[in-house]
Amino acid sequence: MNGGLALNGSVPSYPRYREAATAACRAQDVTSVHNLLTVVVPPSDDPTLTTAANNALALNITVPDGVEATTSDGNVRLTGTARHGSTHKAAVGSAEPNGRTGRCSR
């Protein structure tokens, strides 16, 4: 795969999702990771999911202030204003962890 690595399966939390991609980037000769892991959070755990989504939004400097996540039955809803397509994409990408591809920095 020319340095590319795909991660498949499921993890119990968004932090584990990010940790898996970070660990994969540390492997020798890996230059990019296509993270296909699915975060499986029990529907009754909406407060944890809300906190994780809002933390991810806060950590992404390209997400505008005022964008917030709420959850209901395991579904994430974003509210706020993104004035540009790039900031909209950053917000959605931060809150929705599935199917992301990234370059590994060395």
Task: List, run by run, the mean pLDDT of 10-residue segments along the chain (106 residues).
Answer: 85 86 88 88 75 88 88 85 78 61 55
Segments making up each domain of the chain, as ranges: 1-40, 42-97
Torsion, Cα of 87, 19, 5, 49 (10° steps) = -50
State the pTM of this model.
0.49
Ramachandran angles phi, psi of 20, nearest 5°: -65, -45
